[in-house]
């Protein structure tokens, strides 16, 4: 998801893209998608799928990244490798099939929440992937099918996504309001930034499908801005607490896979902002500067996260090598 946003929403807007870079990054994105599919299939074959992906009702919502990831891969292929249009149709069918299974899984989880209310104590932004995955289908469908994508289908899916958002964000708020502001470093989750990211992708789906009024889209954008400021203020406070308690390296310069969601949500917010139109010349100019700075920041976040990932990878490889060496001795 983060790489797809980087390709479609960042590289081109910064004017640093060409055919070769676009092709290479798209090939990389496809490789990651196929790798994830192989991992899931491997877990099915070894009968570890339930234990790794389904046993924990909250964690199982993470499967929604596969749906959204497939959708954004479709958009990227359409943008960078238009000749593979038939392949995008195939991927879209897979994405729809995965989404149906994912929604059935979400329903199972909701039923478990009703039976065991304690399960909701661990709720965080990952639940909102139900909304993100749903809206991603709308965007991908409108990109590859254009005006042939049924407008009524866009309206139904977007509405369903908004209902899922409201339901899940209510569960998350019930959890978040109980968090002590002085313990955000321990209780606040990286995935909570999806609180504003899910609204951004909803607004983008409305824009691309042209299925809702401009006034309503403006309202969604204003709501996104408010949630962005609110959530990221909590993120800044959390970062300050982590630096104070763990230092710079262990506080914010340590790798966690869930941090990639920040790249996606930031990229989605600035992409939505870039797509929305304003009539006032002053606001138009301000928007251009705001988007350019924001998109540059998203690129910085991606490179920073990639450096943390590579550092962690090298460290683990070195540790394993030293362990094998000691065993051989």
pLDDT tens track for 98-144: 999 999 999 999 999 988 888 888 899 999 999 999 999 999 999 99
Burial class (CB in 10 A: 0-12, 13-18, 19+), 288: exposed
DSSP classification of residue 50: I
The first and second tokens of residue 149, run together, are 């994508």
Tell me, what's the pLDDT at 19?
66
Residues 310-328 pLDDT 10s: 888 888 877 766 565 555 4
Q: What is the model's pTM? A: 0.91
Domain residue ranges of the chain, discontinuous segments joined by + = 2-328
Tell me, what's the pLDDT at 325?
52
Tell me, what's the pLDDT at 324?
57
Is the confidence at residue 20, as pLDDT, over 80? no
Mean pLDDT of the chain: 88
Name the residue with higher pLDDT: 27 or 272. 272
Name the residue with higher pLDDT: 25 or 92. 92
Tell me, what's the pLDDT at 251?
85
CB 172 within 8 A of CB 123: yes
pLDDT band at 97 (very low <50, low <70, confident <90, very high): very high
CB 294 within 8 A of CB 265: no
* For the chain, percent of residues with pLDDT exceeding 90: 47
How many alpha carbons lie under 13 Å from residue 241 in its C-beta half-sphere?
15
């Amino acid at each position: 998801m983060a790489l797809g946003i980087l390709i479609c929403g960042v590289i081109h807007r910064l004017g640093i893209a060409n055919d070769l870079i676009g092709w290479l990054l798209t090939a990389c994105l496809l490789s990651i998608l196929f790798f994830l599919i192989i991992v899931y299939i491997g877990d099915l074959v070894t009968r570890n799928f339930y234990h790794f992906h389904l046993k924990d009702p909250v964690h199982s919502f993470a499967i929604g990244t596969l749906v959204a990831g497939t959708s954004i891969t479709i958009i990227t292929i359409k943008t960078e490798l238009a000749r593979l249009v038939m392949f995008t149709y195939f991927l879209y069918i897979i994405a729809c099939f995965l989404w149906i299974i994912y929604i059935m899984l979400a329903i199972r989880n909701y039923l478990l929440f009703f039976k065991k209310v304690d399960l909701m104590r661990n709720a965080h932004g990952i639940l909102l992937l139900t909304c993100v995955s749903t809206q991603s289908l709308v965007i991908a469908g409108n990109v590859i099918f254009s005006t042939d994508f049924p407008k009524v289908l866009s309206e139904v899916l977007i509405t369903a996504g908004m209902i899922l958002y409201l339901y899940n964000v209510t569960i998350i708020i019930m959890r978040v309001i109980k968090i002590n502001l002085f313990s955000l470093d321990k209780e606040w989750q990286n995935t909570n930034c999806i609180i504003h990211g899910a609204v951004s992708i909803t607004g983008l789906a409305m824009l691309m499908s042209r299925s809702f009024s401009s006034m309503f889209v403006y309202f969604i954008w204003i709501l996104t801005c408010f949630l962005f400021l609110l959530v990221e203020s909590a993120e800044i406070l959390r970062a300050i607490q982590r630096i104070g308690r763990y230092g710079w390296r262990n506080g914010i310069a340590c790798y966690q896979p869930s941090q990639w969601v920040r790249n996606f949500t930031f990229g989605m917010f600035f992409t939505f902002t870039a797509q929305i139109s304003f009539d006032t010349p002053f606001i138009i100019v301000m928007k251009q500067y705001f988007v350019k700075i924001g998109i540059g920041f998203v690129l910085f976040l991606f490179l920073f996260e990639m450096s943390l990932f590579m550092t962690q990878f090298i460290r683990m490889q070195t540790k394993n090598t030293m362990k094998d060496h000691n065993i051989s001795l």
